[in-house]
Homo-oligomer: A and B are copies of this chain.
Amino acid sequence: MRARIAVNGYGTIGKRVADAVARQPDLELVGVAKTRPSFEAQTAQARGIPIFVADGANVDPFRSAGIPVAGRTSDLLNAADLVVDCAPEKIGKENAVKYKEAGKPAIFQGGEKAEVAEVSFNALANFDAARGRQRVRVVSCNTTGLARAASVLRSAYGVEEWEATMVRRAGDPAETDRGPIDGILPTFPIPSHHGADVRSIFPDLTIATAAVVVPTTLMHVHVNRVRLARPPATVAEVLDRFRATPRFHIFRAWEHVDGTPQVMEYGRDRSPSGRPDVMENVLWEQGIRLEGRDLHFFQAIHQESIVVPENIDAIRAMLGLAPDAATSIARTDEALGIPRPAK
Q: Which residues of A pack against B, CB within 8 Å?
A: 15, 37-40, 42-43, 46, 61, 64-65, 163, 165, 167, 169-171, 173-186, 188-191, 208, 210, 212-221, 223, 225, 251-252, 254-262, 264-266, 268-271, 274-276, 284, 286-289, 291, 294, 296-298, 300
Contact = CB atoms under 8 A, between A and B. Distances in A.
A36 to B, nearest CB: 8
A46 B284 CA distance: 20
Nearest to A257: B39
B189 A287 contact: yes
A190 B254 contact: no
25 contacts: A38-B254, A39-B265, A40-B269, A43-B266, A43-B269, A165-B210, A170-B179, A173-B182, A175-B179, A175-B261, A176-B179, A176-B180, A176-B185, A177-B178, A177-B179, A182-B215, A185-B258, A185-B260, A188-B287, A191-B289, A208-B225, A208-B294, A210-B223, A212-B223, A271-B275
* A interface: dominant SS: mixed
Given A184-B218, A186-B221, 13 more contacts: A39-B256, A43-B269, A167-B212, A170-B179, A173-B264, A180-B261, A182-B215, A183-B218, A190-B289, A208-B294, A214-B215, A271-B275, A275-B276
Given A43-B270, A182-B173, A218-B182, A286 B256 contact: no
Contact of A182 (B42, B217, B271, B284): B217
A178 B171 CA distance: 11
A223 B213 CA distance: 12
Given A185-B259, A259-B186, A254 B61 contact: yes
Contacts of A39: 251, 255-257, 262, 265-266, 269
